[in-house]
Structure 1
Amino acid sequence: MATTVKMHEAKTHLSSLVARAVGGEEIVIARGDKAQVRLVPVEPKPKRVFGSMKGQFAVPDSFFDPLPEDELRRWEGG
């Protein structure tokens, strides 16, 4: 079951509410009697693995061809 706190109380006790949310407690912040937000911990990003997309797409040789002059000018702000 979630603990609901009013906005003013949340502003006053934000640090302790964050600690409780990180500890697994569900904290809901309300404006008046209407729930507005749920305070939840941030999930850590998974570690990126170098080469994990290998073989999933191919870059055509034409990718490395020089750009046409008009397109090159647009890239350079002209």
Structure 2
Amino acid sequence: MQIVNIHEAKTHLSRLIEKAARGEAFVIAKAGKPLVKVTALDTPAAGESRRLGFLAGQISVPDDFDQMGSTEIEQQFKGEI
């Protein structure tokens, strides 16, 4: 994996981004210390959409999901636990 310093990254940002978009991730370093990894996002291709509801019928959410654990949370706020 290519490591570039901040100055080089600023100077050649467009070229580096194009490489990352093609799958060639790189690391930006400051004073030789790696800071961030730049990599392409896993997004749908143009014209493609993510499938909504693909888990329909496979999972269930309890009717009281927004109240689950409320007793324990209240006790923690009061310092009882």
Same fold (TM over 0.5): yes
Q: Which runs of no fewer than 5 residues in structure 2 stay unpaired?
A: 64-81
Amino acid in structure 2 at the alignment position of 1:37: V
* Within-5 A mapping of 1:6-45: 6-44=5-43
Query: Is 2:56 the partner of 1:53?
Result: yes
- Post-superposition Cα deviations, 1:5-25, rounded to whole Å, max 9, x if no partner, equal 100110111111010111222
TM-score normalised per structure 1: 0.60
Q: Which runs of no fewer than 5 residues in structure 1 stay unpaired?
A: 61-78
Q: 1:51 to 1:9 in 2, by over 3 A?
A: closer
Amino acid in structure 2 at the alignment position of 1:11: K
Structure with the greater alpha carbon radius of gyration:
1
Tell me the percent identity: 32
Paired residues, what number? 59
